[in-house]
Chains A and B, each alone.
Chain A
Amino acid sequence: MVFSSLTFMYVFLPLVMTIYYAAPKRIRNLVLLIEGMIFYAWGEPVYIIVVMASTVMDYLYGRLMDKYKGSKKTMKALIVISIVSNLGILAVFKYSSFIIDSVNGIFRLNIPNPHIPLPVGVSFHTFQSMSYTIDMYFGNIAVQRNLVSFCTYVTLFPQMVAGPIVRYSEVEHDINKRVINFHTLDEGVRLFIKGLAKKVLLANNIGAVWSTIQATQASNLTVVQSWFGILCFTFQIYFDFSGYSDMAIGLGKMLGFTFPQNFNYPYLAKSITEFWRRWHITLGMWFRYYLYIPLGGNRCSKVKQIRNLLIVWALTGLWHGASWNFMLWGLYFGVIIILEKFVLRRFLDKIPGVIRLIVTFFLVVCGWVFFEFDNLSKGFAYFGAMFGVKSAGAINSETIYQIYTNAIIFVVCAIFATDLPAKALSKISEKATKAVHILTPVAQVGALLASTTFLVDASYNPFLYFRF
């Protein structure tokens, strides 16, 4: 199930909340677990078995690790088994097609491809589950003895299919004990509506433009149109993804959980390194804690550090989808980050912030071309249109039509991609606290109802993370 659907908002959410709040505190985890399973089964009625099986496995590994805490050897064996079985699930369900096709291509073999369909959100919940066993291994957390509580953590419906990636250590406290009051509820409602509006009003509308332009053969695109198109996608992916995270964090709040922030105005970054500290923050953290640092991080030789960075970024790319273009996309950032770290570091400080921001934004936008075309030759053809190598001229009437009919939404996206509205709002609330208190609920109701109109009459409402 997706949040931005009528079924979720007007059937699932009211039912689930009623039952959850009505239930006595001691069975609330069980209630949440059942609700999470229904939520997931709605999208994956069969693969829920895989998810539950892997969750129970990780629970057992945790228990065993707790039991054999003293024995280093046993602990090592357990963590290896846990990682292998989790990555094994990813390998089979997410990467088998890609691996078989690549091997067939390179070695000219003919291994049959079973084309196993990808269970939605598999990359999110295996990573969450792994955070538990790895932290158990490092001794950072206490064991969870209650199977229901552990399963509740993995199947928490707010963040199960599209993040944020919540590490067990971050909700360890909430799983066992949580507080709900008007303050958390208000925060939850605010974030949920904010995320919904970002997804339904901004991302879907600007994304519809991109879907038309993306579907056009690159040689029929004009230069202006191809730039406009990829900028539309730049806004779509940000408002879609961060909107989803806002909804997840908001729903978490309503249930009494505090999830980590996932986006922090990424398009205001002044370097690619900074961009990744602002974009999908929980993924970057995961790779940092569980891959980069265990590999040696930056406490080793330069050569090793570069190796570590390349591994991390190749895998970060591949995490987004089992296809070469995603690996290329990851390595593209990896290489820039290495350059920033080792070559450009000294110069960067001397360049004015505005220029760094523009250059960073430009690099990110170009990156989205790799991200969006899983067929590399189509991606390069799109670059061809952007840089006028092979395009249908500079501009044509189709381009003008697309720009002027979407200008308002485009400008609104551009403004809300920055922190200006948030800053303005906090300034105003200092001076006119009362007015803001009255207008906030009005704006929220307006946004909720406007989003509903777009859901009832949905012409374009994609779920972008089906490949993650």
Chain B
Amino acid sequence: MHKKISVILFALIIFAIPLISLFLPYQKISVQENRMLADFPKFNFDEFTSKRFMKGFDDFVSDHIAFRDQWTTVKADLVTDIGKRDNKGVYLGDNCLIENIASPDPSVYQPNTEAINAFAKKINKPTFLLLAPTAAEIERDRLPAFATTYDQSEFLKTVGENLKGVALINTVSTLSAHKNEYIYYRTDHHWTSLGAYYAYTQVGKDLGFTPLAYSDFEITHAAGDFNGTLYSKSGYRSITSDTIDFYTAKNGSSLQSLVIGSGDDAKTYNSIYFKDWLTQKDKYSAFFNGNQSIEDIKTNGQGKNLLVLKDSYAHSLVPFLMNHYSRITMVDMRYLVQPLDEVVKLKDYDQVLFVYNVDTFNTDDSIQSIN
């Protein structure tokens, strides 16, 4: 009898899981993981002999298996139960998730540095590089016991030594001074608006404006149930959700227009905050409508024009900078398909600011196409 039970249970599971998967409604995206799920792969002779069909089929099965989110969550719990303190490159810290970013890769960061040097020489305007440290550096104290992560300060020093005609903005000590405050999201790889505020005070010193005091800002709690990218990647579900805050200067300059995109695709908006995102999973996209190739901001303030070449860390920093410039143009080279000088007139700008977090600077080479 017990033999039959084993066999019947086994058969039940291997038949039930595919059948339930087939009958559940088809999902195109995963909200939890914040990504598109794999489509059913194309089948033809070429796709078959090259094994692309099989690879696609495996991805399809894995993405559309019934209860995918639950499996993932249980797995993260299981690995925690057996003593692991990281899953998929994310450390389970003290009520926070911290990404263990890849060690410096000279084959990426050196050409990136040289590209910035060459760009500064070409445009001959004051040029700055803000390399934002990630939580792994600043929140070292909150990593699991004995967990190691590489020294980002040391890395900043190395990059700084190789910069020519470009000033490095180092925010490590400024941020470290506030490391016990809420400066990085607990479940996301970005810094919070507060973290960006502290960085802004440092940026002001280097770019030559007087930053506004903390008390000059009015703070709006835009959303309180934000579960970010590290929540999705790691599968850890026990961390307190994050809050997204918007900082508005009480007597600062106000937005005149925000133009997203270029040429015929350009669209004009009257706010830098896109509140529709706040009801969705990817709430960080509420800043500047997420990752866009080019965004042109005009304010009613009197000031210089600033060109910002950046990754998404800039999205929470630029709202502060807007109080000191009449125009800021943000370009994300990861998403820009045209050459840079086709979409921006370089001579219009008085200063150039590169904003990248250490990880992007180490892993992404799109910045090399600025020249």
| Chain A residues within 8 Å of B, Cβ to Cβ | 1, 5-7, 9-11, 13-14, 42-43, 45-46, 182-183, 185-186, 189-190, 192-193, 205, 397-398, 400-401, 404-409, 437-438, 440-441, 444-445, 448-450, 452-459
User: Does A409 contact B82, Cβ atoms closer than 8 Å?
Assistant: yes
B-chain residues with CB within 8 Å of residue A400 when the two chains form the complex: 146
Q: Would you call B9 an interface residue if the criterion is a C-beta within 8 Å of the partner chain's C-beta atoms?
A: yes
Alpha-carbon gap, A405 to B146, bound state (A) = 10
For chain B, the bracket of interface size reads: 35 or more
20 contacts between A and B (CB under 8 A): A10-B21, A13-B14, A14-B18, A45-B49, A46-B49, A182-B3, A183-B3, A192-B10, A397-B147, A401-B85, A401-B145, A401-B148, A405-B84, A405-B85, A440-B2, A444-B6, A454-B78, A455-B62, A456-B71, A457-B88
B-chain residues with CB within 8 Å of residue A401 when the two chains form the complex: 85, 144-148
What's the least CB distance linking B97 to chain A, in Å? 15
What's the least CB distance linking A212 to chain B, in Å? 10
Residue interface mask B140-167, A partner, CB < 8 A = 1? 0000111110000000000000000000
User: Does A450 contact B6, Cβ atoms closer than 8 Å?
Assistant: no
A-chain residues with CB within 8 Å of residue B5 when the two chains form the complex: 441
A-chain residues with CB within 8 Å of residue B82 when the two chains form the complex: 205, 408-409
Q: A7 and B51 in contact (CB under 8 A), knowing A408-B82, A448-B13, A453-B74?
A: no
User: Does B75 contact A454, Cβ atoms closer than 8 Å?
Assistant: yes
Complex: chain A residue closest to B147, CB-CB = A401
B-chain residues with CB within 8 Å of residue A459 when the two chains form the complex: 87-88
B-chain residues with CB within 8 Å of residue A185 when the two chains form the complex: 3, 7
Partner of B83, one of A9, A405, A456: A405
Partner of A406, one of B10, B84, B146: B84
Q: Would you call B257 an interface residue if the criterion is a C-beta within 8 Å of the partner chain's C-beta atoms?
A: no
Instruction: List residues 43-68 of chain B with CB under 8 A from any CB of chain A.
Output: 48-49, 51, 54, 57-58, 61-62, 65, 68
Alpha-carbon gap, A259 to B14, bound state (A) = 23
Alpha-carbon gap, A412 to B127, bound state (A) = 56
Instruction: List residues 1-43 of chain B with CB under 8 A from any CB of chain A.
Output: 1-7, 9-10, 13-15, 17-18, 21
Partner of A441, one of B6, B17, B86: B6
Q: Would you call B331 an interface residue if the criterion is a C-beta within 8 Å of the partner chain's C-beta atoms?
A: no
Alpha-carbon gap, A182 to B78, bound state (A) = 33
User: Does A456 contact B75, Cβ atoms closer than 8 Å?
Assistant: yes
What's the least CB distance linking B73 to chain A, in Å? 9
Excluding A6-B65, A405-B84, A406-B84, 20 further A-B contacts by CB distance (< 8 Å) are A6-B58, A14-B14, A14-B15, A14-B18, A185-B7, A186-B4, A189-B6, A189-B7, A205-B82, A397-B147, A401-B147, A401-B148, A408-B82, A437-B2, A440-B6, A453-B72, A453-B74, A456-B62, A456-B65, A457-B88
Q: Would you call B309 an interface residue if the criterion is a C-beta within 8 Å of the partner chain's C-beta atoms?
A: no
Alpha-carbon gap, A173 to B317, bound state (A) = 75
User: Does A186 contact B75, Cβ atoms closer than 8 Å?
Assistant: no
What's the least CB distance linking B151 to chain A, in Å? 13
User: Does A456 contact B68, Cβ atoms closer than 8 Å?
Assistant: yes
What's the least CB distance linking A44 to chain B, in Å? 9
For the complex of A and B, 9 pairs with smallest distance between CB atoms: A186-B3, A437-B2, A456-B71, A453-B75, A401-B146, A457-B75, A397-B146, A400-B146, A189-B10
User: Does B58 contact A5, Cβ atoms closer than 8 Å?
Assistant: yes
User: Does A444 contact B10, Cβ atoms closer than 8 Å?
Assistant: yes
A-chain residues with CB within 8 Å of residue B58 when the two chains form the complex: 5-7
Alpha-carbon gap, A437 to B3, bound state (A) = 8
A-chain residues with CB within 8 Å of residue B353 when the two chains form the complex: none
Q: A441 and B2 in contact (CB under 8 A), knowing A11-B18, A453-B75?
A: yes
Partner of A409, one of B9, B10, B83, B85: B83
Q: Would you call B76 an interface residue if the criterion is a C-beta within 8 Å of the partner chain's C-beta atoms?
A: yes
Alpha-carbon gap, A13 to B79, bound state (A) = 27
What's the least CB distance linking B6 to chain A, in Å? 5
Q: Would you call B195 an interface residue if the criterion is a C-beta within 8 Å of the partner chain's C-beta atoms?
A: no
What's the least CB distance linking A453 to chain B, in Å? 4
User: Does B3 contact A448, Cβ atoms closer than 8 Å?
Assistant: no
A-chain residues with CB within 8 Å of residue B319 when the two chains form the complex: none
User: Does B17 contact A10, Cβ atoms closer than 8 Å?
Assistant: yes
User: Does A404 contact B146, Cβ atoms closer than 8 Å?
Assistant: yes
Q: Would you call B235 an interface residue if the criterion is a C-beta within 8 Å of the partner chain's C-beta atoms?
A: yes
User: Does A448 contact B83, Cβ atoms closer than 8 Å?
Assistant: no
What's the least CB distance linking A70 to chain B, in Å? 46
Instruction: List residues 81-131 of chain B with CB under 8 A from any CB of chain A.
Output: 82-88
B-chain residues with CB within 8 Å of residue A10 when the two chains form the complex: 14, 17-18, 21, 61, 65
